Amino acid sequence: MTTIVLLLFTALNAAAVPAIDTSNVLAIAESTSSPYFAALTADGSGLTGDLHDNDDDNMWLSAPDRGTASYNPNPGTVTGVTWLRFQFDKVYKLGDMWIWNCNETAWVARGFKDVTIEYSTTGGSSPSEWHTLGEYELAQASGAATIPHTDEIHFDGV
Ligand SMILES: [Ca+2]
């Protein structure tokens, strides 16, 4: 199995109750296939209410052919085939993170599957600054015209 890394400073992706304003979330990716930039994961693009569409223009895509290489954003974090990091304007207590996995109809298999989620209040390079929330197997999206979120990650107030 392949490990994919999702890194969170603190706070969450698009939706929560109350949601963290998307203008306070900076999404950074290990790589990008232009123009499918990381920002599209955290800017509300493709969302109508809590449903996301299946237009690839509203989704992030890593560069192709990641092969067997392993990456991490900085020392102290686990490595994986690729990673996404969500950086916030300040430290938040986190509730839930909702994930809409890749929903491009012909390419739902491109979504994240085996992921490790780590968080930090400092984002530094020392392993002691990072905490592992857990390892997760994310659901594959259906590719339907609109979908509810595919996964909920519970931070439970960390
Ligand atoms: Ca989007």
Contact 10, 85 (CB under 8 A): no
CA of 126 from ligand 1 middle (Å) equals 32
CA of 16 from ligand 1 middle (Å) equals 15
CA of 119 from ligand 1 middle (Å) equals 22
Is the preceding omega at residue 127 within 30 degrees of 0, hence cis?
Answer: no
Look at residue 21 in the predicted model and tell me its pLDDT. Answer: 87
Closest CA to 37 of 47, 27, 46: 27
Look at residue 17 in the predicted model and tell me its pLDDT. Answer: 53
Contact 95, 157 (CB under 8 A): yes
Question: What CATH number is given for 4-154 in this structure?
Answer: 2.60.120
Domain locations along the chain: 4-154
Low-confidence ranges of the chain (pLDDT < 50): 1-16
Model confidence pLDDT, tens digit, residues 104-147? 999 999 999 999 999 999 988 888 999 999 999 999 999 999 99
